[in-house]
Amino acid sequence: MGANPFIGQMDRLIVLVEKGSTQSATGAETINDVQVAEEWAYMQNVSGSEETDGKIKHLITRTYTIRFNEDVKLKSNKLILIDESQRYEVIHVIEIGRKKHLEIRVKVYE
């Protein structure tokens, strides 16, 4: 488990969204992003690797540490994390301390 970061280390502005759907006047359903939270975070690269399954894919795994947010903890792996227009799939959310911070583990294939 990660440690509590210093406030100066939380220097990345991230947005956490979930998929939502709305219905138009004609009844067509459109899927869009619903913002859950916008937080300052401390980012750490965990690993990166390449896979060759017909084509080369790069897997990037990171952790982001944010201040405790009840909505983020409840929705955990249903969320998508956006950092500098790159979208990451949330794998797991871990509570650090007693309602102090959350560690968000994410991955993306490029």
Q: 79 - beta bridge partners?
A: 18
Bridge-based pairing of strands 101-109 and 56-67 is: antiparallel
Residue 4 vs residue 36, higher pLDDT: 36
How much is the pLDDT for 65?
95
Level-2 CATH architecture, domain 9-109: Beta Barrel (2.40)
Bridge-based pairing of strands 79-83 and 56-67 is: unpaired
How much is the pLDDT for 45?
87
| Dihedral over alpha carbons 38, 42, 43, 46 (to 10 degrees) | -130
d(CA 110, CA 49): 11
With b for 16 or more beta-carbon neighbours within 10 A and e for fewer, the 11-36 pattern comes to eeebbbbeeeeeeeeeeeeeeeeeeb
Q: What is the mean pLDDT of residues 70-81?
A: 93
> Domain coordinates of the chain in residue numbers?
9-109
Q: Does the pLDDT value for residue 53 go beyond 70?
A: no
Q: How confident is the model at residue 25 (pLDDT cuts 50, 70, 90)?
A: confident
Residue 63 vs residue 27, higher pLDDT: 63
